Amino acid sequence: MDRDEIRLTNRACSFSRSELQRTLGFDDLRVINDFGAVAWAVPALTPEDRTTLHGPVAGPLKGPVTVMGPGTGLAPFRGFLQERAAMIDSGTKPGEAMLFFGCRHPEQDFIYADELKGWAGSGVTQLHTAFSRAGERKVYVQDLIREQAAHVWRLLDDGAIVYVCGDGSRMEPDVRRALSDIAREHGQDGSAWLDKMISEKRYVLDVWAGA
């Protein structure tokens, strides 16, 4: 938050214009989409109209985490990483983190590249990037997960929570298969292991259907 901007990452936030004015002192709030356009604005509401903003569920940040956020699926996890950076700055050492980010090309749609590289350099998270149109080989997040299988499994064995945000039609099923295969390679029943992860709320999704 600064003088002119608040960035919200939340599961569900419902409020009216009058509540916003009363609690935050704002008369104007605009939600900006990934292309810089105004997707929603408070002035369009009457005083008692209500609106709801949705986002992912935030979990414990002190323990190990594994995050998969291809493309704009990265957006909610910036808050996670900002919080981890603040913890480190205050002298609290959080658990190990791995971020898997994917996009088409590093010079076209690698959003927040400098910020992510900065966090990787300062120990906030390990950064693994997959670019699907940057060379002869198309590389996706699930490919990197398989390449980092030993490290991923070590974090999972230490209790890491897996967060996945993005395309639910292709990316998430591919990530699910990659994790199940890694579990199978370590003597687990892949399907049963993943079901247990879900029941323990250690495999957390915020996905949408792709075209």
Q: What is the average pLDDT value for the chain, to the nearest integer?
A: 80
- 17 band by pLDDT with thresholds 50, 70 and 90: low
Beta strands in 46-198 (DSSP E): 50-54, 65-68, 97-103, 126-131, 161-167
Residue 84: exposed, middle, or buried by beta-carbon count in 10 A (0-12, 13-18, 19+)?
buried
* Per-residue pLDDT reduced to its tens digit, 18-38: 655 555 555 555 444 333 333
Beta strands in 46-180 (DSSP E): 50-54, 65-68, 97-103, 126-131, 161-167
Domains, the chain: 12-54 (no CATH), 65-208 (3.40.50.80)
Q: Which of 4-8, 82-86, 156-160 has the highest mean pLDDT?
A: 156-160
The residues pairing with 13 across neighbouring beta strands, listed in sequence order, are 53
- Say if residues 182 and 146 touch (Cβ distance below 8 Å): yes
Query: How many CB atoms within 10 Å of residue 153?
Result: 17
Q: Is the pLDDT of residue 93 over 70?
A: yes
The residues pairing with 130 across neighbouring beta strands, listed in sequence order, are 102
